Amino acid sequence: MGETKKLLGLALILVGCLGGLGVHGRAFAQDGRPGAPPMERAFGGRMHGRWWDDPKLAQQIGLSADQQKKMDDILQQHRLKLIDLNASLQKQEAIMQPLMEAEQPDEGKILTQIDAIAQARAELEKGNARMLLGIRQVLTPDQWTKLKALRAEKKEEWGRDGRGMRRGPGGPPPAADGSGGPPPQPQME
């Protein structure tokens, strides 16, 4: 009996983590978080969504209109599949909820459902990686190098937390007034 309770407690924690990590919004985001899949980390930084449509960025890496169209086409080709894969994951998570909330949870059913959730999540991640790989393959090696360098510059400029706060000995960036301190906080009225 005690072993079953431990296993069910572990299953609850796992389900909470799976839900908390959620891939739902990540199907199209390339946010560079350490927990992000490798293909998302490869694009990382501040390059969310259709980053190739940014005229300044396109010019900086030498992206042609033809390459931008190819990337748009790749995105569109994968979009419906990713929507379906995301829906499949949400469905598997919805199936899990009543199993976990049951008065007498069925360990076998819960463990089977955890496997179904993990499989749905894996399929979504693979679909997303295929799309990102297709986009990556449109770039020349020189463009890829330039894109990585720009991403590294942005990470240095903005820090990893995205709020402009640098970590480590560098401290926060100078205030807008040039005083070297943190920017002033807005006054509440």
Helix axes 2-21, 107-138, angle to 10 degrees: 30
- Cβ distance 43 to 132 under 8 Å? yes
- Taking 70 as the threshold, does the pLDDT of residue 188 lie above it? no
**What's the pLDDT score for residue 151?**
87
**What's the pLDDT score for residue 121?**
97
Q: According to the 3-state scheme, what is the secondary structure of 38-88?
A: HHHHHHCCCCCCCHHHCHHHHHHHCCCHHHHHHHHHHHHHHHHHHHHHHHH
DSSP helix, strand, coil percent of the chain (3-state; round to 5): 70, 0, 30
What pLDDT digit, counting tens, does each position of 68-96 carry?
999 999 999 999 999 999 999 999 999 99
What pLDDT digit, counting tens, does each position of 25-79 carry?
343 343 444 455 554 555 654 445 788 999 999 999 999 999 999 999 999 999 9
Q: What global pTM score does this model have? A: 0.60
- Cβ distance 64 to 88 under 8 Å? no
What pLDDT digit, counting tens, does each position of 112-144 carry?
999 999 999 999 999 999 999 999 999 999 999
